[in-house]
Structure 1
């Protein structure tokens, strides 16, 4: 840029001096004039050169101003980010909360920093979700790690433990992020999120493999393309949630889960434990239920049409007739309407 500026300055000096006559003759095609006419023509050439130079200088000034403003803005964001990270490490809950919401603001203000902020918040959740302190624990009290604490046995209701206030805040921020700015999956692998409140959360493409979401409230959550292999969703509220094509729920624990009206079309539920789950009005078209455990699950027979499932798979399930809009209309038995026949 400096070299280009020097070249332009030399060219301008030349045009303002002896080069004006050359420009007049070769660019304007004016020859044979003398006296006042020649002087006026040369002044016009020099005036045009000055106008062009002024425009170039103005554009350069705008460019440098914008670049300096962007540099200053990025420096300000870096300072905010550094302070927010320091706040996350505080032993005081209110300061940690301030850091979480400061990071959310940074993610909104800077699309370039959005993926990094989400990675930091996900790491914070994974690191702190296993702290055994209750949300009401006072600051300064010793935390007890419970990484090795096992969940309840299959079919047994999970403990009343809930995520800490800071962990829940980080989950809320992730759940309302602009997913279009994501670079990678939100990584909540093997996190302990029992009884988490995630109503309406946007968890598209999230990695929830092995995550404990038992008793969590996931009603109307968006889990399209999420990976939930071996996830624990026992007794979770998944009413009306959207999994859609691409969701991977292989071997997931969905014992007693509320899946009424859930959008499960195209989801992979092979080997999933759906014992006692409520699947009434669930969208199961093209869902793969082969090998799933459906003992005691409540399912409308009509919802199984188009699903990849065999009669053996649903043996022991509570197959129901959908409520009729006409009270006088006789409802066929499940055997008469089995989709595989």
Structure 2
């Protein structure tokens, strides 16, 4: 249960306290005049002692007043902090709802039977990823899942898929604006795609159809190309350091200028 915090003093309490102070003051004044009003040296000494005691009492009262003021200030600060926390939480919830709405709408657009709508969904997901770093991996997962879906040869759909690939490439360029995300395109049909100078290091293309794909100058280091179909693919100047190509079909693939190292695994151990 949340702490309700200190309760404020009521008007009635303040009035009663003031009247009590006045009453005590009046009684003490009458008593002092009765006991020490004769003017003798002994009376004067008594009055000095009472004056000293009064000074102490007044000082103590001032300290109590300061304590009450500090208590009120602390109460006000706690109230303000609580209100600010509520406002921040409300703002966070509103942002999360907005992100969810945009994500859901964009994902629905990808399921449209109209190519322009699917393109709009891809660009909406990209904008969402640019503005929200914590959503980037989820967004990339959705785009990769879209590319892994089977499709029949269609010119408009080919353009949509090219756009999806360009979005993935655009945000894995290796610069300070790159997204730290993993790429899973296992089994995807990317045949005939143009992906020159792409940054697909550590990406997974296991069992993907990469026939006739133009990977010229791309970075495929440490990528998983197991069982991938690379027939007639252009791998000119491609970095294949640490890549796995075991069981891949590289028939007709161009490897001019390609680089690899001892960790690169070739199909049937051929290099």
Give the TM-score of the pair, scaled to structure 1. 0.59
CA distance in 2, matches of 1:167, 1:254: 23
CA distance in 1, matches of 2:204, 2:192: 18
**Displacement after TM superposition at 1:80 (Å):** 0.5
1:169 partner SS: helix
- Is 1:208–2:205 an aligned residue pair? yes
**Displacement after TM superposition at 1:36 (Å):** 3.2
- Is 1:44–2:41 an aligned residue pair? no
How many residues get paired? 226
- Is 1:84–2:106 an aligned residue pair? yes
Choose the corresponding residue for 1:265, options 248, 255, 261.
261
**Displacement after TM superposition at 1:226 (Å):** 1.4
Choose the corresponding residue for 2:162, options 138, 161, 168.
168
CA distance in 1, matches of 2:84, 2:239: 48
* Residue aligning to 2:154: 133
**Displacement after TM superposition at 1:35 (Å):** 4.1
Which runs of at least 4 in structure 1 moved beyond 4 Å after TM superposition? none
**Do the aligned partners of residues 64 and 220 (structure 1) sit closer, same or farther apart at CA in structure 2, a change above 3 Å counting?**
farther
* Residue aligning to 1:189: 186
**Displacement after TM superposition at 1:33 (Å):** 5.9
**Do the aligned partners of residues 109 and 85 (structure 1) sit closer, same or farther apart at CA in structure 2, a change above 3 Å counting?**
same
RMSD: 2.8
Unaligned runs of 5+ in 2: 15-52, 173-177
**Displacement after TM superposition at 1:109 (Å):** 2.2
**Displacement after TM superposition at 1:94 (Å):** 0.9
CA distance in 1, matches of 2:189, 2:86: 49
**Do the aligned partners of residues 65 and 90 (structure 1) sit closer, same or farther apart at CA in structure 2, a change above 3 Å counting?**
same
| Larger Cα-atom Rg | 2
CA distance in 2, matches of 1:54, 1:260: 74
**Displacement after TM superposition at 1:134 (Å):** 2.5
**Displacement after TM superposition at 1:180 (Å):** 5.0
User: Which structure exhibits the higher relative contact order, with contacts defined as CA atoms closer than 8 Å and separated by 6 or more residues?
Assistant: 2
Unaligned runs of 5+ in 1: 18-30, 136-162, 273-290, 295-341
CA distance in 2, matches of 1:212, 1:69: 45
Q: How does 1:106-185 map to 2 (within 5 A)?
A: 106-128=128-150, 130-135=151-156, 164-177=158-171, 181-182=180-181, 185=182
**Displacement after TM superposition at 1:239 (Å):** 2.6
* Residue aligning to 2:30: none
Question: Which is richer in helix?
Answer: 2
**Do the aligned partners of residues 59 and 76 (structure 1) sit closer, same or farther apart at CA in structure 2, a change above 3 Å counting?**
same
- Contact in 2 for aligned 1:196/1:217 (Cα 8 Å): yes
- Contact in 2 for aligned 1:211/1:230 (Cα 8 Å): yes
* Residue aligning to 1:237: 234
CA distance in 2, matches of 1:230, 1:66: 51
1:58 partner SS: helix
**Displacement after TM superposition at 1:267 (Å):** 3.8
* Residue aligning to 1:222: 219
- Contact in 1 for aligned 2:240/2:259 (Cα 8 Å): yes
**Do the aligned partners of residues 46 and 200 (structure 1) sit closer, same or farther apart at CA in structure 2, a change above 3 Å counting?**
farther
